[in-house]
Amino acid sequence: MAEDSFCGFLCKEICQNLKDDDIKKMKFCIRNHQVNSQELERVSEGTDLMEVAMKANLFTESDTSCLETMLNAAGRKDLVEKVKEYKNNLTVLSSSIESPCNLEEHVIGRKYMKTQTSEELETAIKTENVIMLSGVLGSGKTQLAVHYGYEFHKKYPTSAVWMIRSKDQASLQTSMTTLANKLGVLKGKDKESENPVIKLGDILANALMGKTTTQLIIFDDVNEDCQRIVEDLIKKFVPLEETQGFIKVIVTTMDDLLKMPRTKRISVSGFTEEEAVTFLRGNNTCTHSETDALKKLARRMSYLPLGLSCAKTYMSNCYKSGKSFLELLKANTLEQLDDKLKKLDASKRGLFSNLNTFIRIMEKDLDKDATEMFQMTQFLENENIPIILFDLLSPSSERCNEDIDGEIQHDDVATCYSLSTDSLVQAVQKFSFGTVQGIDDKRLLNTHTAVSLTLQAFTDEKRKRRLLNRLLWTCALILDKNNRHQDDYNRMASVLPHARSVLRHAENMTGKDIEMCLLMAFVNDLVAYTSNFEGLLGLEKYHSEKALQFCYKVMETTEKDIDEEVSDKHVLTTYETHCEFAKAKATVIDKKLTGIRLLHERKVEKFIRHFIQQKRRTKGDVDFLTKYVENYREDALTMQQYEALCKKKKAIQLTDLMDQFIKEMILSTFYTYGRRIFYLGK
């Protein structure tokens, strides 16, 4: 039943029948819960009380236990019976409602083909509860699992089918939280733990095993680091004893040595030669010589579906034969790859060499900006990359500030990026390096791990550093702590996993560069803040601590050194002495930041100018600037426009901002770190 139907039920059947005394008793009942005390104090009507309680996730349509407790506290057993009757009707209706599935047709791709291995999976899963698909990178493990899951959901739409990304704990938590929200079983109190994966497992197991149809969970890309966690989750989903419902599990992994109890292992090694030729040929009839060429091409691709899919897509789009495509590969393969390839695992050398050749061919058709966009995907998550991330891609700060008094022509930049983004989308699909779904600003790009790893292997460190600088700037300019408007929040939530990935790649590349350290502190802080709203408190803790570390790195010191410097003069025995210590510490930090600003004055000014001009404003800021800035456009703010705002007393002069901007940024980071204590519960 839709959420608005539940709200309608609450309004008509519950709120309209509540008396003033009932509302007082119900408010008292939830006073110690995670609700906003000021909002609760202002409540005087039933609808307001329901809004405050639901905002705090005290109850949902599928879990009304807290609502029933509130009504019982008010002595309204008649209304409790109405809630139970609504739930019974909901249970009957839900048996015919489609369950959540995050496997979409675009992920499967257009080149899937039934093979011996897919038939083996279909046979095994009839009798086994847990199947492990293991094989080398690009062998088609995930594609096999996704295709089975997609077809399973089409056949049984009332069964939940969900892929849980399992390459690290953050991915696990994010995927499981999304599923719990889709099922409507995640309440506010369940978000208090900093390490909630196992707790989420209990919640999901209870929800899924209570269903009358078979459910399917896919743990994708499990490695040694997450093995123990996934094993514990599988034990919850597939217990030894009989349960009301059934949950089938598929695990994909590149680790052939990975072992799990009660698991049927299927080795995925790609196509056979006959399957590969059939796949490449499609519905076409081939001469004997062309068949031989396709066999050579299949051998060159090590019979791996990923490489063969890239080849087939290009051949189809460019109307090339297997023989012609082999000649193209030979002409574009670098001869001096030995040093690079020697560093790679033997199982990856052939695939990486071929993908690198494909990439070189593709990049010949791209302009510089589109090429850099594609190269940046190596630092992003492989799934659901918002194309708007590239549309809003920040020009490098060096480009913005080659002449500190000059300005970029923003119209030209925006047009250039839009055209480059379209070129990127076309090129990615031309080579099957990924898939694209949605339209316009809602387009999402999905790539493959092998493509990202190939880019990482063949991109030099200098270029990596420059690309990461641009991505850090883009994340810093898109993310914002003002996420009140739904469009702003959606944009930030879509960028969040990719910002985390960029931070992970950039962490060891900052050195002592003041700009990179400032960006790392700022972006970590924004990621921590946004993670809190997604209920990812473990990630909030991690990124808050990282932000704090980089704040002190900007000051060229550590928190421990400052504490020792200040504590020598203060004996911390009373509240007053702690306050004096805090003031003394703040004074030291203020002086250090002033010193850093004076030491790097020109760099700081460039940083501030770039931020002012390129910041992607939230809805509230856009409304404000539209009111006070003539001909304002959302993509950027010119310095002339900024100076006009200063004359109207609506902005701070750049000269006055110099000493405050970095301090405000650091202070905001300290604030995010300090506020965590209010969200961790007991």
Q: What is the mean pLDDT of residues 421-448?
A: 83
Q: What is the C-alpha separation between 27 and 500, in angstroms, rounded? A: 39
Specify if 404 maps to a domain.
no
Q: What is the mean pLDDT of residues 19-40?
A: 84
Instruction: Give the residue numbers spanning the domain of 445.
Output: 339-398+416-459
Q: How many CB atoms lie within 10 A of CB 3?
A: 11
Specify if 403 maps to a domain.
no
Q: What is the C-alpha separation between 666 and 596, in angstroms, rounded? A: 13
* Predicted pLDDT at 411: 42
CATH of the domain at 224: 3.40.50.300
Same domain as 428, residue 362: yes
Specify if 367 maps to a domain.
yes
* Predicted pLDDT at 336: 52
- The phi and psi torsions of 161 (rounded to 5 degrees) equal -130, 120
Same domain as 70, residue 169: no
Same domain as 539, residue 441: no
Specify if 473 maps to a domain.
no
Q: What is the C-alpha separation between 670 and 250, in angstroms, rounded? A: 43
Residue 661, helix vs strand vs coil: helix
Tokens of 511: 């050195």
Per the model's pLDDT, the better-predicted residue between 183 and 406 turns out to be 183
Per the model's pLDDT, the better-predicted residue between 250 and 300 turns out to be 250
Structural contact between residues 233 and 257, judged by C-beta atoms closer than 8 angstroms? no
Same domain as 391, residue 307: no
Same domain as 324, residue 257: no
User: What confidence tens digit (pLDDT) does each residue in 515-560 have?
Assistant: 999 999 999 999 998 888 776 777 888 899 999 999 999 999 888 8
Task: Please tell me which of 154-158, 428-432, 470-474 the model is most confident about, judged by mean pLDDT.
Answer: 470-474
Same domain as 140, residue 240: yes
Q: What is the C-alpha separation between 134 and 529, in angstroms, rounded? A: 37
Same domain as 658, residue 676: yes
Opening angle at CA 461, ends 367 and 432, nearest 5: 45
Same domain as 488, residue 369: no
Task: Please tell me which of 29-33, 390-394, 661-665 the model is most confident about, judged by mean pLDDT.
Answer: 661-665
Same domain as 278, residue 262: no
Which of 482-486, 518-522, 638-642, 677-681 is predicted least confidently?
677-681
Phi-psi label, residue 138: left if phi above 0, alpha if psi -120 to 50, beta otherwise: left
Specify if 471 maps to a domain.
no
Opening angle at CA 500, ends 495 and 502, nearest 5: 90
CATH of the domain at 71: 1.10.533.10
pLDDT at 68 over 70: yes
Supply the pTM of this predicted model. 0.76
Confidence band, pLDDT 50/70/90 cuts, at residue 254: confident
* Predicted pLDDT at 680: 57
Structural domain count, the chain = 5
Q: What is the mean pLDDT of residues 232-258?
A: 80
Domain boundary among 223, 246, 267: 267
Specify if 410 maps to a domain.
no
Same domain as 297, residue 168: no
Confidence band, pLDDT 50/70/90 cuts, at residue 438: confident
Same domain as 643, residue 534: yes
Q: What is the C-alpha separation between 495 and 55, in angstroms, rounded? A: 24
* Residue 347: alpha-carbon gap to chain centroid: 29
Specify if 479 maps to a domain.
no
Domain boundary among 70, 94, 118: 94
Q: Name beta bridge partners: 247.
A: 215
Specify if 346 maps to a domain.
yes
Confidence band, pLDDT 50/70/90 cuts, at residue 363: confident
Type and span of the H or E element at 545: helix 537-554
pLDDT at 401 over 50: no
- The dihedral through the CA atoms of 478, 607, 404, 641 has a sign that is positive
pLDDT at 408 over 50: no
Same domain as 343, residue 328: no
Structural contact between residues 270 and 450, judged by C-beta atoms closer than 8 angstroms? no
Q: What is the C-alpha separation between 161 and 102, in angstroms, rounded? A: 7
Domain boundary among 314, 332, 350: 332
